């Protein structure tokens, strides 16, 4: 399975209500993204607040997304945590939910050696029996997956992609050199989509796509179609909005932005808190600058 998808995979926020995951609103979000041309859906990631969700909630979110997507785009389900046994169970739940792939970061906090990281991924691969996308996000895990280690993981044909969010361009170049002919490489940072594409990457797993799905998709496909000026213009024009989306810890700003579009996604869960007035003011101003206005998306 190469590539898993080409274009924009949205790292979906998770709607919550008093009972838990609001699966009706989640399916509204999926319908929105299908209309807007998003190429893949990622649920139960860091943007989806998976760290605050129970295993049952994560399975409910995965099942709702798969049902709403109905095979029209791939659904990639996050499976992360510090306890390999618990992550194994999440991977099995993703398979039971009929996910197309799992997205797996190295265990945070534990700081395992390379042998432990490899053993962790192999246990998850065996449990999921699904294609796996490696997620390198050292800012959250305190563990940077070196290209040489990802190259070892790529020896297993079930490993099909990498979401690379180190922000280190030199590392990304080395990664592309080592595994670009075998794995789909996706930018994990919205402000670096074009550099990834220039190195042979297949797209982005995006926070921006939550509120600008069509533009994010167009950025990638314009590049793939040789419309380099259009792709570059989109990358540069959306940079202020991208920065606003990360002016406070993700997903605080983006979840508030999705709510501003009219989706009843609720607030972030503790220990996250709603955005400050300064953050929200900057965010709304940047949204309006790009022609994104409140409550237009739901009924578009």
1, pLDDT greater than 70:
no
User: Which residues are paired to 132 by β-bridges?
Assistant: 102, 159
pLDDT digits (tens, 9 = 90+) for 19-63: 999 999 999 999 999 999 999 999 999 999 999 999 999 999 999
Pairing of strands 20-21, 40-43: unpaired
Catalytic residue annotation:
135, 163
Please, what is the Cα angle at 142 between 137 and 143, to 5 degrees? Answer: 70
**DSSP 8-state code for residue 210:** G
Sign of CA dihedral 181, 187, 191, 193: positive
Contact, 209 vs 217, CB < 8 A? yes
- What are the Cα distances from residue 240, in Å, to 165, 190, 261, 289? 19, 11, 18, 9
pLDDT digits (tens, 9 = 90+) for 133-142: 999 999 998 8
Residues 6+ apart with CB under 8 A from 267: 16, 255, 274
Residues 6+ apart with CB under 8 A from 65: 12, 26, 27, 30, 41, 43, 75, 77
pLDDT digits (tens, 9 = 90+) for 71-118: 999 999 999 999 999 999 999 999 999 999 999 999 998 889 999 999
Q: Enumerate the domain spans of the chain.
A: 7-227
242, pLDDT greater than 90:
yes
| Average pLDDT in the chain | 95
pLDDT digits (tens, 9 = 90+) for 153-205: 999 999 999 999 999 999 999 999 999 999 999 999 999 999 999 999 999 99
- What are the Cα distances from residue 86, in Å, to 46, 127, 227? 17, 11, 45
**DSSP 8-state code for residue 142:** S
Whole-number pLDDT of residue 293 = 84
Sign of CA dihedral 160, 123, 26, 196: negative
| Domain at 7-227, CATH class | alpha beta
297, pLDDT greater than 90:
no
Q: Which class for 195: exposed (0-12), middle (13-18), buried (19 or more C-beta within 10 A)?
A: middle
Contacts 24+ apart (CB under 8 A), 171-177: 171/144, 171/146, 171/147, 172/196, 172/199, 173/199, 174/147, 175/147, 175/150, 176/200, 176/201, 177/147
User: Which residues are paired to 20 by β-bridges?
Assistant: 17
Q: What pTM was computed for the model? A: 0.95
Whole-number pLDDT of residue 294 = 73
Which phi and psi angles does 266 have, rounded to 5°? 75, -175
Whole-number pLDDT of residue 300 = 36
16 three-class SS: strand
CA distance 110 to 105: 13
Which phi and psi angles does 171 have, rounded to 5°? -65, -40
């Amino acid at each position: 399975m190469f590539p898993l998808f080409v274009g924009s995979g949205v790292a979906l926020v998770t709607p919550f209500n008093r009972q838990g995951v609001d699966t009706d609103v989640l399916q509204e979000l999926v319908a929105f993204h299908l209309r807007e041309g998003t190429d893949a859906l990622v649920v139960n990631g860091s943007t989806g607040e998976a760290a605050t969700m129970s295993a049952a909630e994560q399975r409910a979110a995965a099942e709702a997304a798969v049902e709403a997507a109905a095979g029209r785009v791939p659904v990639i389900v996050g499976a992360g945590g510090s306890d390999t046994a618990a992550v194994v169970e999440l991977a099995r739940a993703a398979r039971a939910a009929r996910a197309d792939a799992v997205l797996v970061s190295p265990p945070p906090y534990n700081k395992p050696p390379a042998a432990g990281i490899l053993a962790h991924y192999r246990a998850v691969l065996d449990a999921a029996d699904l294609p796996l996308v490696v997620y390198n996000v050292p800012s959250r895990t305190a563990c940077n997956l070196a290209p040489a280690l990802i190259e070892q993981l790529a020896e297993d044909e079930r490993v099909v992609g990498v979401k690379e969010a180190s922000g280190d361009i030199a590392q990304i170049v080395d990664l592309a050199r080592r595994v670009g002919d075998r794995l789909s490489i996706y930018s994990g940072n919205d402000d670096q989509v074009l550099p990834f594409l220039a190195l042979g990457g297949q797209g982005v797993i995006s926070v921006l796509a939550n509120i600008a799905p069509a533009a994010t998709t167009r950025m990638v496909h314009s590049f793939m179609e040789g419309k380099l000026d259009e792709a570059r213009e989109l990358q540069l024009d959306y940079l202020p909005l991208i920065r606003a989306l990360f002016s406070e810890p993700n997903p605080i700003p983006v979840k508030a932005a999705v709510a501003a579009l009219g989706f009843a996604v609720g607030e972030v869960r503790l220990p996250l808190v709603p955005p400050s007035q300064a953050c929200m003011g900057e965010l709304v101003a940047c949204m309006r600058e790009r022609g994104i206005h409140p409550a237009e998306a739901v009924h578009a």
